[in-house]
Copies of this chain bind each other. A is one copy, B any other.
Amino acid sequence: MSTQFFHQDERFVRDFGVLSQFGATENGGVHRLAGSAADGEQRRWFTELLESEGFRVEFDQVGNQFGLLELAAGAPYVVVGSHLDSQPTAGKYDGAYGVLAAAHAAFRLAAEWRSTGAVPQYNLAVVNWFNEEGARFKPSMMGSSVYTGKMAATAALAVQDPDGVTVSEALQSIGCMGSGTGPTAAYCAEIHIEQGRSMERDGVTIGLVDSNWAANKYEFVVHGEQSHTGSTVIADRKDALLGASMLVVAAREIADRFPGVLHTSVGQLNVYPNSPVVVPSRVNLLLDLRSADEAVLAEADQLLHDRMLEIEQAADVRIEKGSSHCWPVMPYQPEGVDLAEKAAVDLGLSYRKVKTLAGHDSTNMKDIVPTVMLFVPSVEGISHNEHEYTRDEDIVAGLHMLTDVVRRLCDGELDARNS
C-alpha cells in the first residue's frame, strides 16, 4: 500500500468520525431519523464533501441525494451508495458507512482517471438513498423504491409521520426536495455492515451477498372491547392487549421450533386507548417471519395462522390481518458475485458468500440492474443499537474492496456477460 493510499485511508476514517457527529447520542450512537434536522445537517455536509471533490450534487423528486461525475458523455451511471438516515438511538455504521465508502471509492477512482487520462465506460453516481430505515416514515427503503419504480413518488411524498408531518414537508424543511428521477443506472454497488455475527465467527473480512432471506411481514390489528380494568369481570373481558401479547409470545415460540433458520419478531406495537384503567380495545402491531428456506417459512406461517385462531378463542378477540409485504429468496446477479470474488482474490482479502437477512436499497436496485452487494463484519453482530461496531481495519478493507468493484463496473467488466 502506497503512502498516499495510507493517507487516504486515514482521511476516510477521519471523515467517518466527522459524519458520526451528526445526531450523535451520549452512548456513542446516532439518532438521525429521515428528514429530521440532523439528517438535513449531514446531507449539507455530504454535499460540501462531494462538491469539494468535483462532483455535481442533485436531489431527485423524493430526496435521494446524488453526487455525479460525468466523464463518458451520455452514458448511464454506476450507482454506488447506501443511506445516511438511522433508526432511533441507533449505531453509526448502518448505512452511513456505505455512503461514505461509496464517496471515497469514487474520489479515488476520479483521481486515478484524472492522473491516467483513462475514460471509463460508465459515469459514476454516489448515492445517499432517502429513508431506508422506515422508522419515521413507512415503508422502509422508500427512496430506492421510488427510484426503481416500485412506489409512486406522489404516494411516498404524502406519507405522514406520527405527528402528521408529510415526507414532502420534511424534505422541504431540510432543503432536500429536488425534482426529476435522478441519473439512469447501468449497474449498482453497495457496501454495508453485516448486522449479524456469521462473518466474525468465520473470520472473513468481506461478505459477497448472493441472495436475501425470504420474509413475510404482516400488520395485525387485534380487536377487543373497551371495559373497566377494575370492575369488569374477567369472563366478560375482550382484552386486545392480551390477544396481542399472546401473538408476540407465539411468534417467538414458532422461531424456537426452527432454531437458527427462522427469525420472528414484533418491533412495533401500539395500544388504544392506552389508559391505565381501560381494557384495551385495539392493538396494532407489525410481525415478521424470515428464513433463507422458503419451506421453513411456509411451515412457520401456517403455524402462526393456526395460533391466531386459538388466540382469538382464548382471549375472546378478533385478529384482523392488515397490509402484508412478502418476498421470496431472491438472488443477486451471479455474475456480480463472480466479479466481486475476483476483486477479493486480487486484493488478497478473505471472503465468503453470505445472505442478507435485512433489507437494503440494493435489494430494490438488483431488480432493475445487475447489483453487487458487499458486507464487512459486525462485532458481536450488534446492530440497530448504539453499540454497533466494525473495526477500522475492516471498514478500510471494505473501502478497498468497493473501490475495486466499482472500478470494474465502470470499466464495463460485466458488459460482455450481459450482452
Chain A residues with a Cβ under 8 A of chain B: 87-90, 133-135, 138, 140, 194-197, 213, 215, 217, 225-234, 236-237, 239, 241-242, 244-246, 248-249, 252, 255-256, 259-260, 262-281, 286, 288, 290, 356-359, 380-386
Chain B residues within 8 Å of A244, by CB: 245
Instruction: Tell me, in angstroms, the Cα distance from A265 to B356 when the chains sit together.
Output: 40
A283 and chain B: residue at smallest CB distance? B269
Contacts A226-B386, A230-B359, A236-B380 known; list 9 others, CB within 8 Å. Answer: A89-B273, A135-B276, A225-B385, A231-B383, A241-B266, A241-B269, A268-B274, A269-B269, A281-B385
Question: Is the CB–CB distance between A286 and B278 below 8 Å?
Answer: no
Known contacts A246-B249, A268-B276; A215 and B239 CB within 8 A of each other: no
CB distance from A143 to the nearest CB of B (A): 16
A271 and chain B: residue at smallest CB distance? B269
A259 and chain B: residue at smallest CB distance? B234
Instruction: Tell me, in angstroms, the Cα distance from A353 to B237 when the chains sit together.
Output: 24
Instruction: Tell me, in angstroms, the Cα distance from A248 to B249 when the chains sit together.
Output: 10
Residue among A226, A244, A255, A280 having the largest count of chain B Cβ atoms under 10 Å: A226
Contact of A230 among B138, B215, B227, B259 (CB under 8 A): B215
Known contacts A249-B249, A260-B233, A279-B267; A358 and B228 CB within 8 A of each other: yes
Instruction: Tell me, in angstroms, the Cα distance from A359 to B277 when the chains sit together.
Output: 10
Question: Is the CB–CB distance between B256 and A234 below 8 Å?
Answer: yes
Question: Is the CB–CB distance between A227 and B382 below 8 Å?
Answer: yes
Instruction: Tell me, in angstroms, the Cα distance from A229 to B231 when the chains sit together.
Output: 38
CB distance from A252 to the nearest CB of B (A): 5
Instruction: Tell me, in angstroms, the Cα distance from A148 to B76 when the chains sit together.
Output: 77
A246 and chain B: residue at smallest CB distance? B249
Residue among A273, A290, A359, A382 having the largest count of chain B Cβ atoms under 10 Å: A273
Instruction: Tell me, in angstroms, the Cα distance from A230 to B138 when the chains sit together.
Output: 17
Question: Is the CB–CB distance between B277 and A358 below 8 Å?
Answer: yes
Question: Is the CB–CB distance between A87 and B252 below 8 Å?
Answer: no
Question: Is the CB–CB distance between B195 and A232 below 8 Å?
Answer: yes
Instruction: Tell me, in angstroms, the Cα distance from A87 to B279 when the chains sit together.
Output: 11
Instruction: Tell me, in angstroms, the Cα distance from A264 to B236 when the chains sit together.
Output: 13
Question: Is the CB–CB distance between A233 and B381 below 8 Å?
Answer: yes
* Integer count of this chain's copies in the complex: 2
CB distance from A347 to the nearest CB of B (A): 25
Question: Is the CB–CB distance between A232 and B277 below 8 Å?
Answer: no
CB distance from A130 to the nearest CB of B (A): 17
Contact of A241 among B215, B248, B272 (CB under 8 A): B248
Question: Is the CB–CB distance between B277 and A195 below 8 Å?
Answer: no
Chain B residues within 8 Å of A195, by CB: 228, 230-232
The list of the 9 closest CB pairs from A to B, nearest first, reads A245-B245, A245-B248, A88-B273, A229-B265, A195-B231, A231-B357, A226-B385, A230-B358, A135-B275
Chain B residues within 8 Å of A265, by CB: 229, 237, 239, 279
Question: Is the CB–CB distance between B259 and A280 below 8 Å?
Answer: no
CB distance from A3 to the nearest CB of B (A): 37
Instruction: Tell me, in angstroms, the Cα distance from A384 to B197 when the chains sit together.
Output: 48
Chain B residues within 8 Å of A239, by CB: 252, 265
Residue among A270, A279, A359, A384 having the largest count of chain B Cβ atoms under 10 Å: A384
Contact of A236 among B267, B270, B381 (CB under 8 A): B381
Contact of A194 among B231, B263, B281 (CB under 8 A): B231
Question: Is the CB–CB distance between A275 and B196 below 8 Å?
Answer: no
CB distance from A251 to the nearest CB of B (A): 8
Instruction: Tell me, in angstroms, the Cα distance from A140 to B230 when the chains sit together.
Output: 13
Instruction: Tell me, in angstroms, the Cα distance from A213 to B229 when the chains sit together.
Output: 13
